[in-house]
Chain A
């Protein structure tokens, strides 16, 4: 009888410890992800020095909840890997928002509901830029660099494309690794092949 109690108590102990560790792990991951996202955003908008006589306008966007790879991939019309070939001049619309166009030369399509031709360059409209002595800084917008290799999730806008979930929808490819942020992982740094596989699986599930 005593022996049975020992086994039961031992079993209960192991189960409790397992549960507590699982719970603690989950909380830790959530906490770490949040901090990594916050840090990535801070890096992304690190302000450059403002030349004298320039006006700075800052914009903050409220984004839809759950910026997970699954939601971002399902929302996108176009998921593509490619190279940034051109970063255009800034321009503004009638509402006073400043944008610039980024041209991406596609290398591989993962989702293409808008039937973009395989060799056609893709124009992406991105918040931010400097126009007429106004520096328009969009705190949640993705940033692109000339010749950057990117993995992007794009939505179809009025004429061109835009990055879905803003900063969450653009990842950089460096040394065969995909780098960016999402809500389930925080900071992403993953082998390109693994990331591709994950995205293809998500699209396939829908």
Chain B
């Protein structure tokens, strides 16, 4: 009789323990606010951005693919390929180029002038690293990185929360062979739709 009571009591406690455990997980993981996306507070004057390529030897589709990914994110904003341009800083042409940056570990960099409106943004792929098209495990994937960089063109900022952001296109750290940034996370989609 006593043992039976103990058994039932233990079962009750087990339920309580599991319930409490899940409650702890919930509290611990939602205890502080997190960014869904990070918007840098400026935008293109119209709902489009033309881009030029300086990527001799690379298939333009590697850049056009990521442009289409953002173009199909449900906002009226459109990236448009304008043609070829030899990259020059601050020349008025937003250009995607490939150059060797020996004095940084950055895989790619995007730079532009903030202000109330964006007029020019350029992206440079760092040729210090090996680049691939097809998820090669020892190379950085061009489409993966370009989808992220186009996020910067839209003035979305880098996110660094490994817990909440790692599957988002705008997560700021990029692995070799990684392709998950090619597809937009719902928060990335919400980001572009909020801005434009």
**Is the pair A158, B102 in contact by a Cβ cutoff of 8 Å?**
yes
**Is the pair B175, A66 in contact by a Cβ cutoff of 8 Å?**
yes
Give me the 5 closest cross-chain CB pairs, A-B, nearest first: A96-B89, A34-B161, A20-B21, A61-B106, A65-B175
Asked if B108 CB lies within 8 Å of chain A CBs, one says yes
Q: What is the minimal beta-carbon distance from A24 to any residue of chain B, in angstroms?
A: 4
Chain A residues contacting B28 (CB-CB under 8 Å) are 24-25, 27-28, 31
**Is the pair B103, A157 in contact by a Cβ cutoff of 8 Å?**
yes
Asked if A33 CB lies within 8 Å of chain B CBs, one says yes
With A35-B32, A59-B109, A62-B108 given, is the CB distance from A125 to B103 under 8 Å?
A: yes
**Is the pair A162, B105 in contact by a Cβ cutoff of 8 Å?**
yes
Chain A residues contacting B113 (CB-CB under 8 Å) are 55-58
Asked if A38 CB lies within 8 Å of chain B CBs, one says yes
**Is the pair A64, B175 in contact by a Cβ cutoff of 8 Å?**
yes
**Is the pair B107, A64 in contact by a Cβ cutoff of 8 Å?**
yes
Q: CB < 8 Å: which of B104, B157, B161, B165 contacts A61?
A: B104
4 A-B pairs besides A5-B7, A31-B28 with CB distance below 8 A are A21-B21, A38-B161, A61-B104, A140-B158
Interface residues of A in 127-154 (CB under 8 A from B): 127, 139-140
Interface residues of A in 83-110 (CB under 8 A from B): 92, 95-97, 99
CA distance A41 to B160 in the complex (A): 9
Asked if B152 CB lies within 8 Å of chain A CBs, one says yes
**Is the pair A60, B158 in contact by a Cβ cutoff of 8 Å?**
yes
1/0 per residue A31-53: CB within 8 Å of B? 11111011001000000000000
Q: Which residue of A lies closest to B160 (CB)?
A: A37
Please list the residues of chain B having a beta carbon within 8 angstroms of any beta carbon in chain A: 3-4, 6-7, 10-11, 13-14, 17-18, 20-22, 24-25, 28-29, 31-32, 34-35, 40, 87-90, 99, 101-115, 122, 124, 145, 148-149, 152, 157-165, 172-176, 178
**Is the pair A60, B109 in contact by a Cβ cutoff of 8 Å?**
yes
Q: What is the minimal beta-carbon distance from B34 to any residue of chain A, in angstroms?
A: 7
**Is the pair B148, A165 in contact by a Cβ cutoff of 8 Å?**
no
Asked if A16 CB lies within 8 Å of chain B CBs, one says yes
**Is the pair B108, A162 in contact by a Cβ cutoff of 8 Å?**
no
Q: CB < 8 Å: which of B104, B161, B174 contacts A65?
A: B174
Q: What is the minimal beta-carbon distance from A19 to any residue of chain B, in angstroms?
A: 8
With A9-B14, A17-B17, A35-B32 given, is the CB distance from A75 to B105 under 8 Å?
A: yes
**Is the pair B102, A9 in contact by a Cβ cutoff of 8 Å?**
no
Chain B residues contacting A30 (CB-CB under 8 Å) are 162-163
Q: Which residue of B lies closest to A37 (CB)?
A: B160
Asked if A164 CB lies within 8 Å of chain B CBs, one says yes
CA distance A28 to B157 in the complex (A): 24
